[in-house]
Amino acid sequence: MKFEGRDIISIRDFSREEIDYILKIAQAMEPLAQKGSDMLKGKILATLFFEPSTRTRLSFEAAMHKLGGSTIGFAEAEIASVRKGENLADTVRTVENYADVIAIRHPLEGAARLAAEFAKVPIINGGSGAEEHPTQALLDLYTILKEKGTIDGLKIALVGDLRYGRTVHSLAYALSNYNVELYLVSPESLKMRREVLEEIRGKIPVTEETDITKVIPQLDVLYVTRIQKERFPDPAEYIKVKGSYKIDLELLGKAKKEMIILHPLPRVDEIAPEVDGTSHARYFQQVWNGIVTRMALLALILGEVK
C-alpha cells in the first residue's frame, strides 16, 4: 500500500485493505483533532470549489488547520479565473504551484479525474457532478465502524434519492467491499443507477424496495438522503414521495433499538427534528468523523503518515 502522492478520485480506486487502513489512520487522528498538531506545518491545501459547499470546504479546511497546515482557495466559480474563460487543466497547472494538495469540487462528472491527469500534486475529489464523493463515503464507513464496532455483518439501508445523489453512489461502492446486506429504498423514479447496481450486485446481496416500513425492522444502519423537489416534474408527486420517506418517531418505533441513523447533511425535512434527541441519531457525530477522515487522507497522501 502506498498513499504518498496518490489522488483520491473514486472510492472504486481503493481496495478493502486500503480503505481499512485509511479508517485505522482516521481513528489515530482523533486525539490530534482534539488538541491540534504540527504534522503538516508548512504545507498548503488549495480548496477549489467551482460549486458552493460550505460543509465539505470547511471540513477540509478544518482538517488542514488541525494538522498545522494552511489553506488557500475559492468558494465559488464566479470568483475564479474561469470567468475569463480559462480551462480546468490550466487552472490546475497553475494552482499546483501554490499548493501541496488540491481539493476540488465541480459540477461536472469527470472533472476531478481530469484535474488529476494534469496535476503534479495530489487531487482530492470533493464531489464531482452526480457521480462520486469519495471522502464522504470514507467518513460514512468510519462512522459505521466507530458506532457499531464492525462493518461486516450489518444490514444497511440507503434511503432517498439514489439516482442523483453522489453520496450514495460512492457509499454503495464502498460498502460492496464488506460483508453487508444492502437495502436500496427509493421512489421508482429515483432508483439506484443501473451501473452502480450491476457492479455491487456481483459482490453483496442487494434488495431494492420502495416501502421503507418493510425494511426498517431488520436494519442496523439507516442512511438517509435528501429528496430534491426539482427532480420531480409533478409537484404533487414530490409531496407524496416526501411524506412517505420522512423519518419520524412513529417509523422509528418499528426499528431495532441499536439502529443508527446517518445523513450526509444538509437535511431539509426528511428527518423530523424530534429524532435528533433519540439514541438513533448520529448525523452530527458524522460531521466530526469527516474531519478525522480528511485529516487521515491529507496526512497519508502528503506522506506524513506511511
Catalytically annotated residues: 55-56, 84, 105, 133
Find the shortest distance in angstroms from Cβ 209 to a second copy.
Answer: 26
Residue 132's alpha-carbon distances to 56, 70, 166, in angstroms, are 14, 26, 5
Asked if 62 is part of the footprint of a second copy (rule: CB under 8 A), the reply reads: yes
Q: Judge contact between 59 and 105, C-beta under 8 A.
A: no
Asked if 291 is part of the footprint of a second copy (rule: CB under 8 A), the reply reads: yes
Q: Which is nearer to a second copy, 101 or 200 (CB)?
A: 101
C-alpha cell at 78: 464566479
Asked if 217 is part of the footprint of a second copy (rule: CB under 8 A), the reply reads: no
Question: What is the distance between the alpha carbons of residues 211 and 217, in angstroms, rounded to a whole number?
Answer: 12
Q: Which is nearer to a second copy, 210 or 285 (CB)?
A: 285
CA angle 181, 184, 186 (to 5 degrees): 160
Asked if 130 is part of the footprint of a second copy (rule: CB under 8 A), the reply reads: no
- Residue 163: CB atoms within 10 A of its CB come to 18
Q: Which is nearer to a second copy, 69 or 134 (CB)?
A: 69
DSSP string, 177-224: TSS-EEEEE--GGGPPPHHHHHHHHTTS-EEEES-HHHHGGG-SEEEE
Segment interacting with a second copy (CB under 8 A) among 4-12, 86-94, 187-195, 202-210 = 86-94
Segment interacting with a second copy (CB under 8 A) among 79-87, 187-195, 205-213, 240-248 = 79-87
Asked if 37 is part of the footprint of a second copy (rule: CB under 8 A), the reply reads: yes
Q: Which is nearer to a second copy, 41 or 201 (CB)?
A: 41
Residue among 2, 17, 97, 188 that touches a second copy (CB under 8 A): 97
Residue among 1, 4, 5, 98 that touches a second copy (CB under 8 A): 98
CA angle 158, 161, 163 (to 5 degrees): 100
Task: List % helix, strand, coil for the chain (3-state, nearest 5).
Answer: 45, 15, 40
Binding mask 132-151 for a second copy (x = CB under 8 A): --------------------
# of chain residues touching a second copy (CB under 8 A): 52
Q: Which is nearer to a second copy, 93 or 113 (CB)?
A: 93
For 102, the 3-state DSSP assignment is strand
Question: How big is the chain, counted in residues?
Answer: 306
- Residue 245: CB atoms within 10 A of its CB come to 22
Binding site for a second copy (CB under 8 A): 35-37, 41-44, 46, 52-55, 58-59, 61-62, 65-66, 68, 70-76, 78-81, 83-86, 90-91, 93-95, 97-99, 226, 265-268, 284, 287-288, 290-291
